[in-house]
Chain A
Amino acid sequence: MTPLYVVYLRPQHDEILRELADLGVRAFATFFRTYPPEIMAHLEKLGAEVIALENVCTEEEKRAMLAEGTARAERVLALMATAPITVDDREAFGLSQAEIADVVGANLGQRLYESTLLVGAFELTAQRYDVSAVVVSEDYSRYPRNILQAARARKIPSYHVAHGAHLGRSYGLFRQSFADFMLVAGVRAAETEAQSGTAPGRIVALGAPQWDPYVAIAGQREKIRAEVRTKCGLAADEPIVLFATTTFESSTPLTDELGKEKTLRGFLAGAKAAQAGGTHFTAIIKDRMYSGKAGRELVDALSAEYGVHALYVEGRPEYLVAAADLVVGSDSNMSIEALLCGVPTLNIWSQNVWINGPYFGRHDGIPHARYDDPQAVGDQIAHLLTDEAYRAAVLANGAAILPSVVLGADGGAARRCATFIVQNAAAASRGMGVAPSGAQGNWHVVDADASALDMLVPPAPARLLALVENTERERLRARFPSADLTLSTATDAQGLDAHDGSFDLVFMGDSLAKMWDPWEFLVRARAKLRPGGRVMAALPNVRNIVLMHGIVDGDMQYGADGADIEHLRFFTRADAIKMFEQTGYALENFFFVRDARCADLNLPSTGTCNVETEKIIVKETTPLTRAELTADHFVVVARSL
């Protein structure tokens, strides 16, 4: 069967679709949205097939589903009327049954119909194609959640590409993600996700595809500026200060709904103060593109109230940001976008910034002023427009923090995400099963002959220190042809003489077990890694059932069938994880490499059971324990903290 990817992307992530096709995916299923003609033409040129899931079922089937959805909705509302659903904190909730019924009943039949249609179409498609992956731009809404659950039931891996920088509190919907993997913008976002309870092994920082365009146009700012000036009729010599409105957040009741107006007023009052002080500029107020707009009416009214001439625009933000001399935002995403374009930025603080975020720390060095302090806003605007040294310092600070916020910050995030997804999905199809989402992190069982190098997921390391036997060196070169390789023997780490922060990856074949002090080595290796760099290491498994059987039988079996005579250290999974955690790493992936000798134990892949040999019985094992008992060795991938 043809491998097929199910995709549901926000427009800002459309490039991932193109990249997936460029990486060889030739069949896609989409639902409830169309993609830009140029991307569809590209797919067609490559010969890729695109199925719209909403068109898979016949009209007759759809009618039956709609009727069923409508009937179920009526039944739901009838049940709610007779036995109302209540909450413990009625005072805070405070909604009447009529209000609740209004919300729940709104389009419920249609919603249930759409979900039924989608899942039904997905199931039919899965009969005809080898569905290899589900890729969604955020999985908080109903369609992706339906599909992800249907995919999980079939052990199809799923990927959630995050939209923002995730520098805020995870609340309401955003506090739990469904997909097997969360592809997030950077280390900061990964921290937020981990704090919300997502197992670290499910979180991968690859950059933000939606911000690739900002990097791409950063070099064309003069041209874009001229175009924007012409289009908006602006004087050629007057600086542009772009203020971006923020949204009113209805995803949670814990919000200051006046925040949008507070920051707009803060900007206008600040602009007035700066202009009164003799700093001349054109103020452009960019409203949000999709939801949560401030609206022309409010902007015009407030501009008039403060006596500031401000141009109201709605348009592609990247061009406006690139055209600006200063971007004033009230949330960090706008600041990130400005910095990606090389434009200095100012944040206007209002209470919402500290209620839900996004949060910048003081050390991030992004100038800020409070909404209720117009003089401070005005001073910052004036300072940022006229003091070249200050502008340079703000940009330098931005460049320093960006990599932790947006990995790479190089415009290549869509490609990295697509590469990760394709390689990871391919690994899953080879039996390196994706672990169920849960607190135990991301673990996989791989074949006995699997090479550790194949288990490394992107981004591919550019600078790599490898402690390997001679036989592995060629394989290493072939796997990372463009990497800058520093090779060392298994236990003699000359590479650690390098400067701190020299490597993206330290790869250790069978090395750590042969060292007297692998803990000390890992600490030293961490210093040689760039921030967020990774180690990858193979470790012998002492909890191997064959080995334990031999010991119980009185024979350590040094040699090919038992323990390696060169090993000085032995590890169980827990010991291995603890060693990495104690030495300053966060576990990303844990692979159990099957011991071929355990194949005839015929252990089930699910449920609880005893594992027995002639000499020993391990009682009530879980799948994870069985993976460990039957593993020859482990491969650990961990990120430096």
Chain B
Amino acid sequence: MDPHTRTAIIRGKTAAWTSAEAVAVYERAMDDTSGSILLKNAIEPLLIGHHVRGRQILDVGIGTGRASLPLAARGLEVTGVDSSQGMLDATRRRAGDHPITLLPGDVTALPFADASFDSVVSLNVTTHFPHWNDILREWARVVRPGGRMVFDMLSADHVDSVARTAGAAFAALPPDPGGAYQLQVRASELIPEFDRIGLRVVGIFPYGIVSRTIASTSWLRGTLVEGMHWERILSWVAVDPVLFDMLVYIEEALAGSLSTDATGRFMVVVEKTRNVDSNARWLARNVDLARSLASGFSRASIEPFVGEANWVQWTARLREYVMHPPCEIALFRLYDMALAWHFPVDLDDLLGSGAQYIQNLAMRRRAESAVWQFVERLSSHPEIGPLLRVRPDIDPSLEWDLLPGLNERILGRWK
């Protein structure tokens, strides 16, 4: 990236949050109970809450307080920094009686002495900036030795992985309409930077498998798990606690145990301790795990990395969830997503007999594509196609006539 573009992005992004409209958008998101935002608002603060350490916490780019108001409510001493006074004002209002210190400041120029905090947390901040290494160095400066930094990033490993498995289909996808700059990084880029700064990886936890609102990157694209229909289904999580719990569990427990290529976003947890060997071991494990997962998601590929106890717990929980029909359909759609990108998931391993209905639906989904392909091949057949055409420029349009008959025969087979 050329220096001019880099500066323009940093300035543009920083300025973008200062408008009243941006503050209103962030505030609305805090109160939004629609499905995917509700899930995002549950998962991210949950991960932050799990991994934060100590009492004195700094939230950089606090926005409207999504990451750290729950920490303040827990009684921790929270300080928030943001370049937007409007955001700070909103957080102040939302904090209510909970004491919280709020200060204007820039992500690379924090108004604090070295080693002032036990933990630095941050949500959806580094993803916007190309100078992420400068940012992390500055955050590390204000963390006490042995303290932690917990923040999310978008995964370039994931984009690489999907491109690798899906090949031409992935390349053929239209560009993401989002358009704005977003930083994506690889684990192999992060580790050397952590080594230079003096940070030890505690863990990097992927999430964002269930909605593009949570991770805008590629995995969900072109599948049943994309778009407003899926979002409309997700809206029911607000009144269906079982569905809500399952989706959060999938994000936190399952996705969070995978390698950095598994989903579009991950939560980074690092400790301010120099330990190059430990980081190298973590990276090697991540590479091994990714390699093992490349063959698909199964007991054989994952259990050696997470242990039997975890695997047993996952299967027990999921087998319980799948008894709930809405969960069954949600799992089908997620499973279909994996299949669409040629990523095998061993449902029998995971769900036992609970897999049957989902596998049957997945087979039907494949049949749907196959039927369509058949009609297309019939119509474009070099010898048959012309015989079916009324005029050379009028296609046979036999879909309406053929699809029900073909479908009924296929369905009959499954009765």
Are B413 and A94 touching (Cβ within 8 A)?
Answer: yes
B363 in the interface, Cβ–Cβ < 8 Å? Answer: yes
Are B368 and A252 touching (Cβ within 8 A)?
Answer: yes
Partner of A103, one of B224, B406, B413: B406
Are B369 and A89 touching (Cβ within 8 A)?
Answer: yes
Report the Cα distance A169→B235, complex, angstroms: 16
Are A103 and B405 touching (Cβ within 8 A)?
Answer: yes
Known: A140-B400, A363-B34. A89 touches B374 (CB 8 A): no
Are B383 and A79 touching (Cβ within 8 A)?
Answer: yes
B212 in the interface, Cβ–Cβ < 8 Å? Answer: no
Are B410 and A93 touching (Cβ within 8 A)?
Answer: yes
Among residues 375 to 406 in chain B, which have CB atoms less than 8 Å away from a CB atom of chain A?
Answer: 377-378, 381, 383-384, 387-388, 390-391, 393-406
Report the Cα distance A93→B367, complex, angstroms: 5
Are A95 and B325 touching (Cβ within 8 A)?
Answer: no
Are A92 and B398 touching (Cβ within 8 A)?
Answer: no
Are A173 and B399 touching (Cβ within 8 A)?
Answer: yes
B100 in the interface, Cβ–Cβ < 8 Å? Answer: no
Partner of B368, one of A102, A150, A253: A253
Interface size on A, residues (CB 8 A): 67
Interface string of A330-372 (1 = CB under 8 A from B): 0000000000000000000111001101011111000000101
Known: A142-B401, A169-B229, A360-B232. A251 touches B407 (CB 8 A): yes
Report the Cα distance A192→B229, complex, angstroms: 8
Are B411 and A142 touching (Cβ within 8 A)?
Answer: no
Which chain B residue lies CB-closest to A170?
B229
Are A255 and B374 touching (Cβ within 8 A)?
Answer: no
Interface string of A91-104 (1 = CB under 8 A from B): 11111000110111
Report the Cα distance A171→B407, complex, angstroms: 13
Among residues 111 to 161 in chain B, which have CB atoms less than 8 Å away from a CB atom of chain A?
Answer: none
Are B391 and A119 touching (Cβ within 8 A)?
Answer: yes
Q: Which residues of A contact B314 (CB under 8 A)?
A: none
Interface string of B356-378 (1 = CB under 8 A from A): 00000101111111111110011
Q: Which residues of A contact B326 (CB under 8 A)?
A: 349, 354, 370
Report the Cα distance A363→B35, complex, angstroms: 10
Are A93 and B393 touching (Cβ within 8 A)?
Answer: no
Q: Which residues of B contact A192 (CB under 8 A)?
A: 228-229
Are A104 and B411 touching (Cβ within 8 A)?
Answer: no
Report the Cα distance A253→B398, complex, angstroms: 17
Known: A351-B329, A355-B361, A370-B325. A146 touches B406 (CB 8 A): no
Report the Cα distance A250→B368, complex, angstroms: 11
Smallest CB separation, B351 vs chain A (Å): 16
Are B400 and A253 touching (Cβ within 8 A)?
Answer: no
Are A140 and B399 touching (Cβ within 8 A)?
Answer: yes
Q: Which residues of A contact B400 (CB under 8 A)?
A: 140-142, 145, 173
Partner of B377, one of A85, A89, A95, A173: A85
Smallest CB separation, A6 vs chain B (Å): 15
B15 in the interface, Cβ–Cβ < 8 Å? Answer: no
Interface string of A243-254 (1 = CB under 8 A from B): 000000011111
Are B384 and A79 touching (Cβ within 8 A)?
Answer: yes
Q: Which residues of B contact A150 (CB under 8 A)?
A: 391, 394
Smallest CB separation, A288 vs chain B (Å): 16
A572 in the interface, Cβ–Cβ < 8 Å? Answer: no
Which of A108-116, A303-311, A498-506 contacts the other chain? A108-116
A219 in the interface, Cβ–Cβ < 8 Å? Answer: no
Report the Cα distance A502→B78, complex, angstroms: 44
Are B364 and A111 touching (Cβ within 8 A)?
Answer: no
Which of A95, A141, A372 neighbours the largest number of chain B CB atoms within 10 Å of its CB?
A95
A601 in the interface, Cβ–Cβ < 8 Å? Answer: no
Report the Cα distance A119→B394, complex, angstroms: 9
Are A103 and B373 touching (Cβ within 8 A)?
Answer: no
Are B328 and A106 touching (Cβ within 8 A)?
Answer: no
Partner of B384, one of A76, A99, A349, A357: A76
B409 in the interface, Cβ–Cβ < 8 Å? Answer: yes
Smallest CB separation, B177 vs chain A (Å): 9
B305 in the interface, Cβ–Cβ < 8 Å? Answer: no
Are B384 and A92 touching (Cβ within 8 A)?
Answer: no
B233 in the interface, Cβ–Cβ < 8 Å? Answer: yes
B343 in the interface, Cβ–Cβ < 8 Å? Answer: no
Are B373 and A119 touching (Cβ within 8 A)?
Answer: no
Are A362 and B238 touching (Cβ within 8 A)?
Answer: yes
Are A111 and B401 touching (Cβ within 8 A)?
Answer: yes
Report the Cα distance A370→B329, complex, angstroms: 13
Smallest CB separation, A173 vs chain B (Å): 5
Which chain A residue lies CB-closest to B379?
A85
Are A250 and B224 touching (Cβ within 8 A)?
Answer: no
B408 in the interface, Cβ–Cβ < 8 Å? Answer: yes
B26 in the interface, Cβ–Cβ < 8 Å? Answer: no
Known: A89-B370, A94-B413, A149-B395. A168 touches B229 (CB 8 A): yes
Q: Which residues of A contact B332 (CB under 8 A)?
A: 355
Report the Cα distance A173→B387, complex, angstroms: 22
Report the Cα distance A89→B363, complex, angstroms: 10
Are B325 and A372 touching (Cβ within 8 A)?
Answer: yes
Known: A254-B368, A355-B329. A80 touches B232 (CB 8 A): no
Known: A92-B366, A191-B228, A363-B235. A104 touches B378 (CB 8 A): yes
Are B367 and A92 touching (Cβ within 8 A)?
Answer: yes
Interface string of B218-258 (1 = CB under 8 A from A): 00000010011101110110110000000000000000000
Which of A80, A103, A146 neighbours the largest number of chain B CB atoms within 10 Å of its CB?
A103
Q: Which residues of A contact B372 (CB under 8 A)?
A: 172
Partner of A93, one of B371, B384, B388: B371
Q: Which residues of A contact B407 (CB under 8 A)?
A: 172, 250-253
Known: A88-B370, A92-B363, A142-B400. A253 touches B411 (CB 8 A): yes
A220 in the interface, Cβ–Cβ < 8 Å? Answer: no
Q: Which residues of A contact B361 (CB under 8 A)?
A: 254, 256, 355
Interface string of A479-502 (1 = CB under 8 A from B): 000000000000000000000000
Known: A85-B381, A106-B405, A253-B410. A361 touches B387 (CB 8 A): no
Q: Which 7 A-B pairs have the closest CB atoms?
A: A92-B366, A145-B397, A103-B405, A93-B370, A141-B400, A361-B235, A253-B367
18 A-B contacts, Cβ less than 8 Å apart? A76-B384, A88-B373, A89-B367, A91-B363, A92-B366, A95-B410, A100-B406, A111-B398, A146-B394, A150-B391, A153-B393, A172-B372, A253-B371, A359-B229, A361-B232, A362-B235, A362-B238, A370-B326
| A interface residues with partner B (beta carbon < 8 Å) | 72, 75-76, 79-80, 83, 85-95, 99-100, 102-104, 106-107, 111-112, 115-116, 119, 140-142, 145-146, 149-150, 153, 168-169, 171-173, 191-192, 195, 250-257, 349-351, 354-355, 357, 359-363, 370, 372, 523
Beyond A351-B325, A354-B333, list 5 extra A-B contacts (CB 8 Å).
A95-B410, A115-B390, A150-B391, A169-B229, A351-B329
